Structure formats: structure tokens, C-alpha cells
Amino acid sequence: MTIQEDIYTPQITLTECIDCGLCMATCPGHLVNFERLSTKMNGAKVNDAGIGRYSRCYLGYSTESSIRYNCASGGLVTQLLSYALEENMIDGALVIGMRKDKPFEPEAFIARNTDDLATAARSKYCPVAANEALKQILDEDGRYAVVGLPCHIHGIRKAEERVATLRKRIVLRLGLLCSHAVNFAGTDSILRKMMIRKEDVSELKYRGGGWPGFMSIRTSHRTKRIPLTGGWNAYWSMFASYFFTPMRCAMCPDQSAELADISFGDAWLPEMKKDQYGVSIIVARTKRGERILKLAETSKKIRLRAVTAEKVHQSQWTNLKFKKSDLSLRLRLFAALGMQRPMFTPKPANNHSPFSLLRTLYVYINIRSSTKKSVRTLLTYVPFPLLRLYYGLYKLLCMI
């Protein structure tokens, strides 16, 4: 992988290519057959138009206060992986941390213990090449869990269909709810806003310190904290407005990691607004996923409360509007502009209302404009409160 235009771009070494076609066959950017892949998942009972196939939905969190407080939303992923390692259910987990020598770049690695897992906790709002650790799973015998965004899980499920070794060794897939990723220019813009030189940064964390948490930027002489949401100077409104979003994210129909064994995300619910520690919304999809949740609950490692799928919809309503309601219109727009698009089965449902068109134009214009140097410079000087008002326009369009 190489970084081009602020995202990772796959590169083929022609001298080593044997023309087997495996890269194209497993690439989620080419084709994802949700219908076939999801029906093969053992346990999913209900097929929901918004969140895919599932068995049960929950609210939950880690019972270890330090994990719950310092992770992104309830600490469920870190806690479940720690439990699975302790109980010898897995030998390692593919997770993502930030490089110590390059604090702005993520790295995929195999966590073997709780200390490893701690370095990979919290969200990463930057491009992530999770596939780089798959070779280690292929090379080393054992049972592995993988953690990834919906697109990562798409590629892993497709690779398992073609590569028997992966199918045998990957025993648990934990998916993270995702509306869209943020390219590397997004972090650069925040640093410029804070007047922090990139070369002075020794550590960067996008979440942590309670819920919903703070971005923490450490230099040799100070640590700057910026709230994620909940205040006029919170930084997420800039990313939520789809500035610095890879165009490929606007072509994805999966917000809730529909092909994972279990999916996890922030519980953005009215009753959680005053919570300072974090609660996850959880979608259990397979018998394997349901089993580890129940075992961890019985061992008092986590707490769960069953909820309906409607609660998941409520907690993710703007993101589901983006991923499901408006996708068909965006794909038609991209086709008219001559862009290549992935193929999905089933095809996205049509929604061509005037408000869908306005939301589509809002997203496309912000993605496209933030690739321009002049717009990036302008965004550096736009105060966070104005960006919050601007994002409010999109939320208003979603409510209509």
C-alpha cells in the first residue's frame, strides 16, 4: 500500500504477479454480494432493510471501568477480545494501532495479550489498511479474531471464500459501525486549526477520556484536547459534513458491518446524552457472535440489555439515511460523471425525492471541494462553531 491523494492506494508488483485474479475476486471495491454472503452466516434470523441480517440487538458496556472510560464507546470490543484471549478462544486478534515512530499513520498487527489490545483501543479517523496483517494469519497457525470497518469485513469474507486457510483460522469477526472514513488531510486540517506543527506531535488519539471523548494531541511541551461532539468547539462536525471523505465511502451501502459476527457502535440515543463513560449499540448476527457475548456476560466481563432493532435505527438515523436512502441517487450521479462504481447485490433501493437530491449534492460538493487546496486552506480558518451550524443544515435535510 502507498499513500496517494491522502488515502492508501493498492499497488501491484508486476514482477511478482502470477495473474491468478485473487486480488480482483476479493476486492470489495469491485463487487460485494451481500445476499450470498449474509445468507451463509450461521444464526442471522431477521433481515432488516437498514442493518442487515441479525439475531438480537443490545446495549452494553465493559464492567472494567478503565476499559469503558478510555475506549471509544463502552469498551466492548477491547473487553471481548481480552476475554477471548484469556479463555483461549483465540490465539490473537487483528487490530489497528498508531505507529510510535509516525503517530499519524495506523498499523495493523496481531494482538496477543491485553497490553497489545490497549494500544489498539479507540477509533481511528484516518485511512486504515487492515489487510496488511492478513499475511501473518496466513503464515502462523492459530485461531484469530479480526476487527474492522464494514469494507474491511467485506474483503475478509470474500477472501475466506477463496482461501481455505483464512476460512479455517479466522473464527470471529467484529465489525465497527461506520458512516464514512476520513482521509489523512482531515487530521492535517485540525492540526493547522490548532496551530500545531506536525513534526512536533509525539502522540495522537482520536477518542478516549470518557464518552463521547476527546482528540488528544501530545507534543513535547503540551497536550491539546478537542471534544469529539457535544460542544461548539467539537471537531466531528467538520468530518460529519463529509469534508475529507474518500469518494469510495459515498458508494458503500453498509453502515452497520452487516457481514460481521457482531457489530458495535456508539449508542447515539437521547437517553445516553448525559452518560460520561460510554455505551455500545450491539448487533449480534451469528451463533458464534451470540455465544461469546453470553459467555462474557455470564463471566461478568460485560453488561448487556436487549433492545429492538428500532433502537439501532434511532441511534444511527443520519448515517442510515446516508448509506441506505440516498445511495441509489449518488450512484446515478457518479455514473453520469463517468466514475467507476462497485456492484452490489441486492441493488440499492431507489429514493429520488427532492430532499434526497439536496443531501446528495451536499455530500458530493463537500467531498469534491475538500480535495482542492484553496478549500482546505479556507477550512483551516473556519471556526468549529460555524462548521457545526453547517452540519446542522445536513441534519435538517435528513429530518425532512
Q: Report the 3 state secondary structure along 211-252.
A: CCCEEEEEECCCEEEEECCCCCCCCHHHHHCCCCCCHHHHHC
Which pLDDT tens digit goes with each residue over 83-138?
Answer: 999 999 999 999 999 998 999 999 999 999 999 999 999 999 999 998 889 999 99
If one counts every other C-beta atom within 10 angstroms of the C-beta of residue 23, the result is: 12
Q: How far apart are the C-alpha atoms of 97 and 204, rounded to whole Å?
A: 11
Q: Are 58 and 293 in contact (CB under 8 A)?
A: yes
Q: Are 94 and 174 in contact (CB under 8 A)?
A: no
Which pLDDT tens digit goes with each residue over 270-310?
Answer: 999 889 999 999 999 999 999 999 999 999 999 999 999 99
Q: What is the pLDDT of residue 2?
A: 61
Say which range, 6-20, 59-73, 361-375, has the weakest mean pLDDT: 6-20
Q: Which of 73, 61, 49, 75 is nearest to 310 (CA)?
A: 49
Which pLDDT tens digit goes with each residue over 194-253?
Answer: 999 999 999 999 999 999 999 999 998 899 999 999 889 999 999 999 999 999 999 999
Largest CA distance in the chain: 57
Q: Which of 201, 210, 228 is nearest to 276 (CA)?
A: 210
Q: Are 219 and 211 in contact (CB under 8 A)?
A: no
Q: DSSP for 193-215?
A: HTT--GGGEEEEESS-SSSS-EE
* Distance from the first to the final alpha carbon of the chain: 41
Q: Which of 265, 370, 385, 381 is nearest to 318 (CA)?
A: 265
Look at the block and give the residue holding cell 440515543: 269
If one counts every other C-beta atom within 10 angstroms of the C-beta of residue 30, the result is: 13
Average pLDDT over the chain, rounded to an integer: 94
Give the neighbor-by-neighbor strand order of the sheet with 170-176: 106-111, 92-98, 144-148, 170-176, 262-266, 280-284, 56-62, 302-307
Q: Which of 148, 145, 153 is nearest to 112 (CA)?
A: 145
If one counts every other C-beta atom within 10 angstroms of the C-beta of residue 46, the result is: 13
What's the mean pLDDT in 312-339?
96
Length of the chain: 400
Q: What percent of the chain has pLDDT over 90?
A: 86
Look at the block and give the residue holding cell 446495549: 59
**φ and ψ at residue 151, rounded to 5 degrees:** -65, -35
Is residue 385 pLDDT above 70, yes or no?
A: yes
User: What is the H or E stretch that residue 297 is in?
Assistant: helix 287-298
Q: How far apart are the C-alpha atoms of 313 and 325, rounded to whole Å?
A: 13
User: What is the H or E stretch that residue 109 is in?
Assistant: strand 106-111
pLDDT band of residue 14 (cuts 50, 70, 90) is confident
The packing angle between helices 327-336 and 354-369, to 10°, is 60
Characterise 54 by phi-psi region: left (phi > 0), alpha (psi -120 to 50), beta (else).
beta
